[in-house]
Amino acid sequence: MNSLVFPGQGSQFIGMGKELYESKADIKEMMNSANDILGFDILDIMFNGTEEQLVQTKVTQPAVFIHSIAVAKVIENARIEMVAGHSLGEFSALVGNGVLSFESGLRLVYERALAMQEACEETPSSMAAIIGLADEVIETVCKEISTEKSLVVPANYNCPEQVVISGHTEAVKKACEILKEKNAKRIVPLSVSGAFHSPLMQHAQDRLEEAIKKTKFNTPSVPIYQNYTSNAVTNIEEIKENLIKQLTAPVNWTQIIRNMIANNCSVFIETGPGKVLQGLIRKIDNSVEVSSLSS
């Protein structure tokens, strides 16, 4: 079986989508409509902007989404049996399987980005990738040092021995020091503006919930494996609920890929900027076929 997997924030690059924009009239028309939907010239930032402009959450998230859907249109005649998306990529996946229109998806993504940026500005917070330790070790350290006012939690289970932690800046720093002492191979602070996929995103989740409840969701053409449960979902109300809970809960990417493979997926096509997911999937199971479409 074939699947599409959609990347999240962090896979953006200057010039993203320019080749696609120039390649097909329908893609150009769709991408031009994004400027009208958002009320600013996001294409100019994507094609010609600076890194500083592109890494702003309110720009990054819609930019990655726009690029991902443009790539999906190139391969829309391919036979696809399931989809998944990493964090933000879940919204792209929901356009990919027909649950959301491009316009509805982009509006939700922009609302999500604004809400997350606002939440980031409320509280000094950060994220860091921990490489080379078992999940249980990271979970235990986070649990032992966390308090209500100094919180750190596992946020992304990306692949075996790669977990991202998220929380208050000082708590993340303390956890990194302890995990280094426990022989983590590498600790990589992430260049994001706050504590995504943690309880510190609660205000953002509340704001996104309102927007999701006002948006039309269609019956999916194929199942989506969602971040919150890691299971295949086709029920619209369940999809909505999982999408809301995603902001404060961890991304269970390792389990998503394992579940897709268990359900006979053997081909994963990364649909969007970069090749991050391709690398993660190979680390989860190197027996499957993975490829990446990015331009």
Active site residues: 87, 197
> CA-to-CA distance for 49 and 30, rounded, in angstroms?
20
> CA-to-CA distance for 74 and 4, rounded, in angstroms?
12
The beta strands (E) that lie in 63-139 are given as: 82-85, 125-131
Q: Write the DSSP string, 130-168.
A: EESS-HHHHHHHHHHH-BTTB-EEEEEEEETTEEEEEEE
Residues 6+ apart with CB under 8 A from 114: 58
According to DSSP, the β-strands at 162-168 and 125-131 are antiparallel
> CA-to-CA distance for 162 and 16, rounded, in angstroms?
27
According to DSSP, the β-strands at 2-6 and 82-85 are parallel
Phi-psi domain of 154 (left: phi exceeds 0; alpha: psi -120 through 50; beta: other)? beta
Beta bridge partners of 97: none
> CA-to-CA distance for 224 and 97, rounded, in angstroms?
8
